[in-house]
Structure 1
Amino acid sequence: MSDDLGLTEAVSMALGGMIGGGIYAVLGVVVKVSGPLAWLAFVLAGFVALCAGHSYVKLNELTDAQGGSPTYIESLTHNDTLAGMAGWTLLFGYIGSMAMYAYAFGSYFTDLVGIDHVVGLPVRALASVVVVAAFVGLNAVGVSETGEVEVVLVVIKVAILVGFAALGLYYGARRGQLRSGAGSLGVGPVMAAAVSFVAFQGWQLLMYDQSTIKNAGDTIRKAIYVSIPTAVVIYIGVAVVTTSLVSIGFVSKHPETALAVAARKFSGHLGYLVISLSALFSTASAINATLFSSTLFSNGLISDGLLPDRLGDDSSEMPTKPVLVVGVLTAAFTLFGSLEGITSFASLTFIVVFGGMSYLAFRQRDRPEVRAVVPAVGMVGTGLFLPLMVWHLYTAERRVFYSVGVIAVLVLAVELVYFETDIFGHQSGRASSGKG
C-alpha cells in the first residue's frame, strides 16, 4: 500500500473489510436464525463491535504498541502466553473469514454458471479453492492493492449495495411488501447478532500497518467511528429488502445467494446478474485484502516470537511461508466446512478476542483517557453473544456445534502446548511490544 494513507483511504479499508464480502456470505445465515428481524441482529452486532472498536482506540492510545490485540496484551499485562494465544486466535479468525468469503464466491459462481459438478467434482468447492490459490500466488509474489485502488473498489461495492437497498425499498414500499418483523421479537436476533459478528471485524485490520497511515492514531479513530455505523446502515437496508421480497424459507435453504434472488424480484435478470458479479468481485477482493493483512499480522507474530521462526523469511517484505500456510488452511476450511460452520467459527474467534480487548480497556478505567461505560458494554455484549451462539448451534445445528467445538478445542490445545511447553522449541518471554 502507498505511504501516508489519509482518512478516506482508512475508511475505505475498514469499510471494505466489513462489507467487501461479509454481507454476501453472512446475510443468509443471519436470516435463517432471526427471520425478518435480521436487520435488528446487524444493529446489535454493530453496536457491540463499535464498543469494541472504541476499546481498541483507547488501548492504541495508552500503549506504544501498534500491532493490535497481542501487543496491547503484552504491553499492559506483560503476559506473552495470553498475547500469543490472542494472536493465534485472531489468525484463525481471519482464516475462517477468508474461508467464508471463498465459500460465498464458489456459491455465486456455481449459481451463475448453472453447473453443479465437473467431472464428478463439485463446482462450488473447486471455485472456492481456486480463488484462494490464485490470491495466495499473487500475495506470494508481492501483488496487492494500493490505497487509491482500495478507495475505488470500495466505492463501487458500496454503490452497488446502496443501489440494491434503495431500489428494493422503493419497490417493496410501492407494493406494500416491506416488513419490519416487529411482531416476531424474541431471542433470535441476539443469537443471529452473535453469528453475524464476523461481518464487523474488517476495521481491525487498520491496526496492523499504522506506519503507512498519516496521523495514525487520530485517523484510525475517526475511520472506526465512521465505518462501523456506515456498515450497519447498509446491512439494515439490504436485510430489510431481502427478508421482505424473498421468503424466509427460501433464504434458509439457499443462504449463499439470497441477495441475487432478491435483486431479481425488482430488477429482473439484470439485477440478478449485477449482484452476482458484485458478489464474486467483492468476496474475491475481501480474500485478497484479508490475506495480505493477515500475512503482515503473521509476520509481526513471528518477529515477536509468537509464531515459529521457521515460518519467517527475512528476504521478502511479504514472507511466502505464512502466505502458503494461511492459504492451505483457508482452502481446507472452505473445502470441508459448511457455510454455517465456517461463519460460526469465525464469529466465535472475534467474539472472544473483541470481548477480551473490551475487558482489557475496562481494566484501565482509572486512567482519565478511558470511560468505563463503553468498554463495559463491549464486554457484556460479547459475554452475552458467546453462550447464546453456542446454545443456538447445539439446539439447531448440532453437527456444526460439534465441528466448531472440536476445532476450537484443538486450536486452544495447540496454543497451550506451544506457549506453555518447549515441545516446539518456543521460549517463553520472547514477545516484545513491537508490531504483531
Structure 2
Amino acid sequence: MTQHRKRNKNLGLVELIAIALGGMVGGGIFTVLGISVSMIGSLTPIAIIVGGLIASLAAYSYVKLGLYYKDEGATYSFFKHTYPNSSFSASAIGWFIIFGYISTLALYAYTFSSYAISSSDFANNIWVRKGIAIAVIGIFTFINIWSVNGMGKIEDLMVYTKLVILTIISIILITHGNTDFGTFVENMSVDFEKSNMFSILIVASLTFVAYEGFQLVINAVGEMTNPKKNIPRAIYSAIALAILIYVVISIGALFAIPKEEIIKNKEFALASGAGTVLGNIGTNLVILGALLATSSAISGTIFGSSRQMSVVAKDGYFPKILAVRKNGSPQNSIIAMALLACILITVGGLELILEFGSVTFLLVSLLMAIANYKIRDKTNSSTLITIISIIGLSIGGFLILYYEFTNEWKQMLVILLLYALLSFGAWKFSKN
C-alpha cells in the first residue's frame, strides 16, 4: 500500500500551480474585460486587482481547511466535516459545487471551439462549434483517465506556454498601441470622475469570477507531494500570477484597442487588437493563446471536480457508481462530468449556466469562510482575517446579485430556479 501511494504522488508544486492557473485563466477574463470596460473604462486594472484580493481572502479559508482536513473532497468535505449533523446541507453543497464546475467546463469547451474555428468558413456554424467542443472534452477526458502524471505534464506545458504567449501579446500591445502611459493615466482620472467607488466594487466582484479554479489544487491532495507546504504555495502563487496576467492583459487591451471595440467584441477584443498591431500573425497568436488557455482549464477542471464528485458519491449524495475508482483514479466520475458537460453544450444557454457557476463559486467561498471561522482554533486561523474574509465575500455576493437583478433580472430568476431543482435533488439523496 505504501509503495502504491508513493508511486501515485506525482504532482509537485509546478504541476499544482499549473492546475490552479489552468482552472483560472480559461477565457473568462476576456468576457469580464468587456463588461468592466463598459462600466468603468480605464479603471479596469484596479478592479481586477481588487477582485484578486477578494479571491485571496476566499483562498485563506480554503488553505486553512485544506491543511486541516487534507481531504480531496475540498469544498464539500470541509462543510460536511465542520457541520456533521446536517446531511441536507452537505448534500446541497455537493450538488451546487459539482454542477457549478460542470457549467464552467462546458463554457471552456465552447470557448475553445469558438476560437478554433473563428478564422474558418465554419465560424458561424453552431453545430460544428458544438461538435468541436464535445470532441475536445473527449480528448481531455481520455488524458485524465490515461495517467495522472501524464495529465500533470501536459497541463504544465499548456499553462506555461499560454502564459508566455499572452504576456508577449500584452507587452506588444502596450508598446505598440496608440495610447502612451501618460494618456492612459489621464484616461483613468477622467473615468474615475465619471464612475464611483460602488461601480468599481461591482466590477471587482464580477472579476472575482475570473479567479475560479484555485480550489482545484486541494482536490489533488491525495496525489501531491508535501501537501503542508505545496497547498498554500500553489494557491497563493497561482492567484498572484493570475492577477499579474489579468492586469497586463487589460492594460495591453486598453493601450491598443478602442474602448468601443473592447465592449463590442468582448472575448475576441484581444485578438482584434493584436491583429491591428501585428496583422494575421497577431490574430493567430492570440487564438493559439486562447486555445491553450481553454484547454488547460478543461483539463484542470475535469481533474479536480471529478475527484470531488467521487467523494460526494461515496457518501451517498450522488449515485454510488460514481464513487468507484481504478488505481486511485475516479474514472466513472471523470466520464460523468464529461457527459454532463457535453449535454449542456448540446442544449445551449451556456452564458446562463456560466452565471450560475459564478454565483455558486462566490456563495460556497463565503460558506467556507464561515466554516473556517467556526473551527478557527483547530485550523490555527486568524480571527481578524477570517472575519474580513466573511465581510468581503458577503459584500461581493451582494454586489453580484445587485448587478444581476438590475441588468439581467430574468436570467437571475432562471438561476434561482436551477438552485431550486438542484436543492430538490440534494434533498432526495440526503433522505436516503
TM over 0.5: same fold? Answer: yes
Amino acid at match of 2:82: L
Conserved 8 A contact 2:10-2:225: yes
Match 2:407 to one of 396, 403, 423: 396
What SS is found at the alignment partner of 1:203?
coil
Q: For structure 1, which segment, 158-167 or 135-144, has the greater mean C-alpha deviation from structure 2 after superposition?
A: 135-144
Query: C-alpha separation between the residues in 2 aligned to 1:323 and 1:25?
Result: 27
For residues 267-320 of structure 1, give each alpha carbon's deviation from its aligned partner in whole angstroms, at most 9, with x where no partner exists.
Answer: 222111111122123212311221122112211222233322133435564445
1:132 and 2:137 equivalent?
Answer: yes
- Taking the aligned partners of 1:313 and 1:64, their CA distance within structure 2 comes to 20
Q: Which residue of 2 aligns with 1:268?
A: 279
Equivalent residue for 1:68? 74
CA contact (8 A) 1:48 1:377 kept: no
- Residue equivalent to 1:151: 156
Letter in 1 for 2:159: V
Deviation per CA, 1:348-395: give whole Å up to 9, x if none.
111011111111112234558211222222222221222222222222
Q: How does 1:42-121 map to 2 (within 5 A)?
A: 42-63=48-69, 65-78=71-84, 79-118=86-125, 121=126
Partner Cα distance (1:330, 1:183) in 2: 43
Distance 1:335 1:368, change over 3 A: closer
CA distance in 1, matches of 2:312, 2:276: 48
Q: C-alpha offsets along residues 315-355 of structure 1, whole Å, 9 cap, x if unaligned?
A: 56444543343223323334444554233211111101111
- Residue 101 of structure 1 and its aligned partner are, at CA, apart by 0.9
Give the whole-Å Cα distance in 1 for the aligned partners of 2:116 and 2:155: 23
Pick aligned residue for 1:6 from 7, 12, 16: 12
Residue type of the alignment partner of 1:167: I
Q: 1:107 to 1:27 in 2, by over 3 A?
A: farther
> What's the secondary structure of 1:415's corresponding residue?
helix
Task: Give the C-alpha shift of residue 163 in structure 1.
Answer: 1.2
Give 3-state SS (helix, strand or coil) of 2:220's partner: helix
**What TM-score do you get using the length of structure 1 for normalisation?**
0.86
Say yes or no: does 1:40 pair with 2:9.
no
**Distance in structure 2 (CA, Å) of the matches to 1:135 and 1:146:** 8
Matches within 5 A, 1:145-224: 145-172=150-177, 173-174=179-180, 178=184, 179-180=187-188, 181-186=191-196, 187-224=198-235
- Per-residue CA deviation, residues 183-238 of structure 1 (Å, 9 max, x unaligned), is 44333332233333332122211111212222102111111221111111110111
**What's the RMSD between the two structures over aligned residues?**
2.8
How much has 1:407 moved relative to structure 2?
1.8
Amino acid at match of 1:264: G
From 415, 418, 421, the counterpart of 2:426: 415
After superposition, residues 319-330 of structure 1 pair within 5 angstroms as 319-330=330-341
What is the alpha-carbon distance in structure 2 between the residues aligned to residue 97 and residue 368 of structure 1? 30
Name the stretch that deviates more: 257-266 or 175-184.
175-184
What amino acid is the match of 1:113?
A: S
Which shows bigger deviation, 336-345 or 100-109?
336-345
Specify the code of the residue in structure 2 equivalent to 1:131.
V
1:23 Cα deviation after fit: 3.0
Match of 2:380 in 1: 369
Query: Are the counterparts in 1 of residues 166 and 249 from structure 2 also a CA contact under 8 Å?
Result: yes
Whole-Å separation in 1 of the counterparts to 2:192 and 2:334: 45
Identity %: 27
Which AA in structure 2 matches 1:148? K
C-alpha contact 1:52 1:375 (8 A) present in aligned 2: no
TM-score of the superposed pair, with normalisation by structure 2: 0.87
CA contact (8 A) 2:67 2:231 kept: no
Please, which runs of 5 or more residues in structure 2 have no aligned partner? 1-6
CA distance in 1 between counterparts of 2:215 and 2:263 reads 30
Q: Distance in 2 between matches of 1:86 and 1:288?
A: 23
Moved more, 262-271 or 213-222: 262-271
Is it true that 1:285 corresponds to 2:296 in the alignment?
A: yes
Supply the distance in 2 between the matched residues of 1:36 and 1:175 (Cα, whole angstroms): 12
Query: How many Å apart are 1:29 and its aligned residue?
Result: 4.3
Distance in 2 (alpha carbons) for counterparts of 1:183 and 1:246? 22
- Which moves more between the two structures, 180-189 or 52-61? 180-189
Tell me, in whole angstroms, the C-alpha distance in 2 between the residues paired with 1:133 and 1:11.
24
Give the corresponding residue for 1:431. none
Q: Give 5+ residue unaligned stretches, structure 1.
A: 427-436
Q: Determine if contact 1:264/1:270 at 8 Å carries over to the other structure.
A: yes
Residues 192 and 205 from structure 1, CA distance in 2 versus in 1: closer, same or farther, beyond 3 angstroms?
same
What is the distance in 1 between the residues matched to 2:410 and 2:259? 22
Number of the residue aligned with 2:3: none
Amino acid at match of 1:418: F
Runs of 4+ in 1 over 6 A off after TM superposition: none
Report the Cα distance in structure 2 between the residues aligned to 1:206 and 1:26, rounded to whole angstroms: 23
**Partner Cα distance (1:323, 1:148) in 2:** 18
| Aligned match of 1:305 | 316
* Residues 2 and 193 (structure 1), Cα distance of their counterparts in 2 relative to 1, 3 Å cut: farther
Residues 66 and 315 from structure 1, CA distance in 2 versus in 1: closer, same or farther, beyond 3 angstroms? closer
* Counterparts in 2 of 1:330 and 1:59: CA distance versus 1, 3 Å: same
Residues 64, 222 of structure 1: alpha-carbon distance in 2 compared, 3 angstrom cutoff:
closer
- CA distance in structure 1 between the aligned counterparts of 2:328 and 2:426, rounded to whole angstroms: 26
